[in-house]
Amino acid sequence: MVKRKWKEIFHSFDKRPTPSRCAILEVFEEGKRHLSAEEVYEQLRRKNKKVGIATVYRNLDLLSRMGILRRVNFGDGREHYELVQPSETHHHHLVCVNCGRVIDYSELMDEEREFLDRLEKELEKKHNFRIQSHQVYFYGLCKNCQ
Amino acid sequence: MVKRKWKEIFHSFDKRPTPSRCAILEVFEEGKRHLSAEEVYEQLRRKNKKVGIATVYRNLDLLSRMGILRRVNFGDGREHYELVQPSETHHHHLVCVNCGRVIDYSELMDEEREFLDRLEKELEKKHNFRIQSHQVYFYGLCKNCQ
DNA sequence: CTAGGTGCAAAGCATTTGCACCAAG
DNA sequence: CTTGGTGCAAATGCTTTGCACCTAG
């Protein structure tokens, strides 16, 4: 089931909540995080949804432009996508430089948001730049790779 | 001229400071920032250094693994590289989502470092993760694109 | 000499595009 | 019936690799 809110977003962009698009959103709704296009395609096949890989790419791009998904890049040579949670203004990752494992974290988010908000205001003024979002990545070794 | 410190790093990795490698480092030393492989290649041609593009890729990778360069990704489909400044433990960017322009900034770095250091310690303990570095990206519209 | 480096061309991958066909408003 | 959406295959673009040749220690 695709949330009413999403249908509204689709219509506000003059786009249709097609079966392919809903199926893709369902994959992310089921708890899968930061998936690559190929991984989304794989999940769809596993659920017996036949969607071409080109359609997956086109819709991941569309959903990102609509603000439903967010592109993230972990330096493994392909784009990954994750659901933008309604209450969330940003989202951060620990990336293992050895095995590529990615951990999402939310520690100290309040403090972090407070600090980054202040920094954003400063940067906007100084560089005449309108900041829309930000991403923070930590790189290192996960417990298995140390 | 390639700094003595770099030669030492090369030798500690059992690699040679070849003309190609020195020429690549010189491009970055001349103030060029976050260049793609193709852009490095172009700069070399402009300086009449004949280095194959494959060698550029191989050496950008090598220099990154040696910690002399850092890979950065601005979401434009290719990797970029920049010099790691000796005194610098991290480096941040404002990326224009419209034209792709990238601004480096250094405001509030002390406060930022203090905050991020604290966050890193917390994350390391909680996730048993050994953090080596981090990157912060702000996305938005530059003054020309607003 | 001998391992490390390089250039060139070919190969590899992730992603995009052209086009004919399908489907919803 | 007309615009938007899709599948398929071909094309693209960045990056890597195989291999023969070159070069510094």
**H/E element holding B132?**
strand B130-141
Whether residues A59 and A125 fall in one domain: no
Range(s) of the domain holding residue B137: 89-146
A49 in contact with nucleic chain D (CB within 7 A): no
CA-based R_g, chain A, Å:
17
Q: For B13-49, b where at least 16 C-beta lie within 10 A, e where not — what string?
A: eeeebeebbbbbbbbbeeeeebbbbebbbebbeeeeb
Query: Which member of A103, A123, A126 has the closest CB to residue B129?
Result: A103
Among B129, B137, B130, which residue's Cα sits nearest to residue A137? B137
- B36 to each of A74, A78, B39, B80, B123, how far by Cα in Å? 17, 16, 5, 4, 32
pLDDT in 10s for each residue of chain B, 146 residues: 567 788 899 999 999 999 999 999 999 999 888 999 999 999 999 999 999 999 999 999 999 999 999 999 999 999 999 999 877 766 789 999 999 999 988 777 788 888 888 999 999 999 999 999 999 999 999 999 98
B16 in contact with nucleic chain C (CB within 7 A): yes
For residue B136, the domain's CATH number is 3.30.1490.190
d(Cα A5, Cα A23) in Å, to the nearest integer? 16
Whether residues B29 and B45 fall in one domain: yes
Query: Given CB atoms, is A100 within the 8 Å cutoff of chain B?
Result: no
Q: Which residue of A has its CA nearest to B133?
A: A139
State the nearest residue by CA to the C1' of C6: B55
d(Cα B36, Cα B107) in Å, to the nearest integer? 25
Whether residues B117 and B58 fall in one domain: no
Q: Please state, as a whole number, how many other Cβ atoms lie within 10 Å of the Cβ of residue B71.
A: 17
pTM over 0.85: yes
The residue among A86, A112, A130 that closes a domain is: A86
